[in-house]
Amino acid sequence: MSKIPETTYCFKEGEVLLFDKPLNWTSFDLVRKVRAAIKRHLDTKKIKVGHAGTLDPRATGLLIICTGKKTKTIESFQAFEKEYIAGLHLGATTPSFDTESRIDKEYPTEHINLALIEKILKTFIGVQEQIPPVFSAKKVNGQRAYKNARKGIDVEIKPSIIEIKEIEILKFELPELIIRVKCGKGTYIRALARDIGVRLNSGAYLTSLRRTKIGDFSVDAAMSVNDFKEQLDNELLI
């Protein structure tokens, strides 16, 4: 069943649309498909469409897409707090801090228990420095860091100031840990996974990531591209 309300939208004047990004799509993949669908519907060659905050291809969840004049508000959405559900594998690391690359090292986990994890997670609450992953879109000397990293070129990334508002354990069963994280702009959950492993005197990498909230917007109210196209086919949007 479609999650889009049966109402009329005006894309050129501007709309704020909530989408649930699928796994292995880039944020631009989603923007491109939405733009193409709108252009076909309006029979126009040009329409402004942009997203308000990149979501990694290996992540799913909420992506805000703005059209028309609403694209001018994108920066304000990017400043909102985000909420994620993250799956971590404890006791190992990968160069990319997620499943994009293979495990390079393994570590003991016998000392890890729920009490220790709860204690360690509390140390991440607040404003702090975080070193972004080398496999990221962070620019270093004008070049995206991941491009050099994938070529095997050493990349030195300066720490960023981030803020973690909340961390909650949703499930723990070694070697798997699932947490809910509420954080400010610029936080890399892959880097958080790395740092959790370090503070546990072990290792950790991200196995899954889903963005559930951006400010007051929730993925529960988001739609798929198929939902969107169905509504366009039914001529509910203009």
DSSP structure class, residue 102: -
Cβ–Cβ < 8 Å for 49, 237: no
Count of CB atoms situated within 10 Å of the CB of 122: 10
Residue pair 135/128 in contact (Cβ under 8 Å)? The answer is no
Residue tagged 């949007």 (tokens): 237
Q: Is 56 a catalytic residue?
A: yes
| Residue that the structure tokens 């100031």 belong to | 161
Catalytic residue among 56, 195, 220, 233: 56
Tokens coding 216: 């007051």
Write the burial class of residue 132 (CB in 10 Å: 0-12 exposed, 13-18 middle, 19+ buried): buried
Distances (CA, A) of 224 to 20, 23, 98, 100, 220: 6, 12, 25, 24, 11
* Terminal Cα distance for the chain, rounded: 21
> Catalytic residue positions?
56
